[in-house]
Amino acid sequence: MRSFAEAEEAFRRLEAEAAGPDQQTQFSRGALAGYLWALGRGGPAPITAQPLDEAPTLSHLSAEVDAATAQMEDSTQRTVPRDYIHGVRDALAWVCGHSDQHP
């Protein structure tokens, strides 16, 4: 799992790149929401809307990655645009250490 500082830096970098409404995409919005939630500042989980009283653990993060993957694979389960879900999944997978590529 990535450190809080690494996740914070990735969030700030993406936030700067996507500054302004014309620069944001559904993917970047999803990734930003994923990072915020992973940092404990995003309210309910971005895909499942599961409420937490504290910052999510690796188990919570991995479950959200799995939920995002399931929604991407089955369009009948989608509650938000596919690109948004993809952004959330990629950000959380990176935070979990499942991927070396961060959005």
pLDDT band with cut points at 50, 70 and 90 for residue 19: confident
CB 18 within 8 Å of CB 24: yes
Give the number of other Cβ atoms within 10 Å of residue 73's Cβ: 9
Among 66, 58, 60, residue whose Cα is nearest residue 85: 66
Please say if the pLDDT value at position 20 is more than 90: no
- pLDDT tens digits, one per residue of 66-101: 999 999 998 887 778 999 999 999 999 999 999 998
